[in-house]
Amino acid sequence: MTNKSRTFIRMSGLGGQGVVTAAHILGVAAVKDGLKCVVNPFFGAEKRLAPAESYVRIAADEIWERGEVLFPNIIMIFHPHVITLGKCYTMPFFAGLQRGGKIIINSDRPLDLREEELAQLKELGAEVYYVPATQTAVEAGGTALSSNIAMLGALLAVEALVSPEAIRDAIAERFGGGKFVASGTTAALDDVLKSKFDRLAQLIEKNMAVVAAAQGRVSKHHY
C-alpha cells in the first residue's frame, strides 16, 4: 500500500548488474539509520543480462507488505536496455509510478523516449533524472561492477533517504563481513570485485568515491 510516510523503490536492471546487491546495501543502510525496511528481489533462473528487479520499502513505521512494488515512488533503471529493449517485468518501465514520483536512469545521454511516454510522465508530474552510472563507476571506482553503487549515489542526490555514513557501513558489511553467499554466481562476482580491489578498506573508499562522484553527475530531464 502506498502512503506518504513510506518510500517504495523499484530497481530494474539486467542480471549481473547488482540490483539485488544495491537493494541489500540500501536496506542495511536504512536499518542502520533506524528506519524500518523490507527488501526483496525478483528474478527468474539466474542468468546474466536477463531482467532482474529488486524492491526496497523504507518507512518509519512497520512494513508488512511483501513482493513486487507495484506502485513505486522511485524507479531506478540500471541499464538503458531495460527501457529500449523492454528488459523489464513491467511495461512501460514506469508502470505504477506514483504521482510526483522520481525515475533515475543509468545512461550517459538522454534516452529517445516515445512522445506518448513523455506525455504520460509529464502528466504524472514525474521527475526524470539521468546519471552516467557505469561511466562514473569505471572512472571513480575503476570497474563497471560498481555501477550499482553509482546508482545508489544518484539516489542519495535525488532523495536523501539514508545517510552517506550508513551507506558506507552497509557497503563495508556487505563486502567485508561474514561469508555471505547470495548464490554461486554472485559469490563469483564478489570474488572478482575483491581481487580487483585488493584490500577491503580500499574497496570501501573506492565505492564511496563512486557514490560521491555519481551524486555530482545527476542531471534532471526537462520536458
**52 touches another protein by CB under 8 A:** no
Closer by beta carbon to another protein, 42 or else 129: 42
Please work out the total of residues on this chain that contact another protein, with binding judged by CB under 8 A.
Answer: 27
Rg (the chain; Cα; Å): 16
**27 touches another protein by CB under 8 A:** yes
Closer by beta carbon to another protein, 79 or else 174: 174
Under DSSP, is residue 141 helix (H, G, I), strand (E, B) or coil?
Answer: helix
Closer by beta carbon to another protein, 119 or else 187: 187
**41 touches another protein by CB under 8 A:** yes
**185 touches another protein by CB under 8 A:** no
What does the alpha-carbon distance between residue 1 and residue 8 come to, in Å, rounded to a whole number?
Answer: 9
Strand partners, 9: 56, 74
User: 132 and 104 in contact (C-beta within 8 Å)?
Assistant: no
| Angle value at C-alpha 87, between 74 and 146, nearest 5 degrees | 65
Interface pick for another protein out of 16, 31, 33, 159 (rule CB under 8 A): 31
Nearest-approach distance from CB 153 to another protein, in angstroms:
21
For another protein, the binding residues in 123-182 under the rule CB under 8 A are: 179, 181-182
Closer by beta carbon to another protein, 7 or else 135: 7
180 DSSP 8-state letter: -
What does the alpha-carbon distance between residue 216 and residue 104 come to, in Å, rounded to a whole number?
Answer: 14
What does the alpha-carbon distance between residue 186 and residue 23 come to, in Å, rounded to a whole number?
Answer: 14
**212 touches another protein by CB under 8 A:** no
Query: What are residue 27's phi and psi, to 5 degrees?
Result: -65, -45
Nearest-approach distance from CB 103 to another protein, in angstroms:
21
* Closest C-alpha among 52, 223, 64 to residue 148: 52
For another protein, the binding residues in 71-130 under the rule CB under 8 A are: none
End-to-end CA, the chain: 29
**223 touches another protein by CB under 8 A:** no
Closer by beta carbon to another protein, 67 or else 123: 67
In the complex, the residues that contact another protein under the rule CB under 8 A are 1, 23-24, 27-28, 31, 36-42, 44-46, 64-68, 70, 179, 181-184
